[in-house]
Amino acid sequence: MSFLKADNTKRSLPPPPVNLSLPKSPLRRSLPLPPAIVSLPLPPEILSAPLPPLKRSFPPPKSTTDLA
């Protein structure tokens, strides 16, 4: 009985068409990863002590552009 139920559920809900239809397009355009990455990994790290490194990282780019 459990096997039949599992098969029926898998055959009843096809993820390929649904995912390619709406979830992938709207989700990716709405808030796929950018928001999540900036919401979790950035806040904690920036609040921890990534501010100094970020400020120091800004000058290097300018130097590289001048040399290039």
- pLDDT confidence tier of residue 2, bands split at 50, 70 and 90: low
Average per-residue pLDDT for the chain: 51
- pLDDT confidence tier of residue 50, bands split at 50, 70 and 90: very low
Helices (H), 1-68: 2-12, 15-21, 24-30, 34-39, 42-48, 51-57, 59-67
Residues of the chain with pLDDT > 70, as a percent, come to 0
Within 8 A by CB and 6+ apart from 46, the residues are 54
Query: What was the pLDDT predicted at 62?
Result: 55
Model confidence, pTM: 0.10
What is the mean pLDDT of the segment spanning 25-41?
48
Q: What is the dihedral of CA 23, 27, 29, 33, to 10 degrees?
A: -130
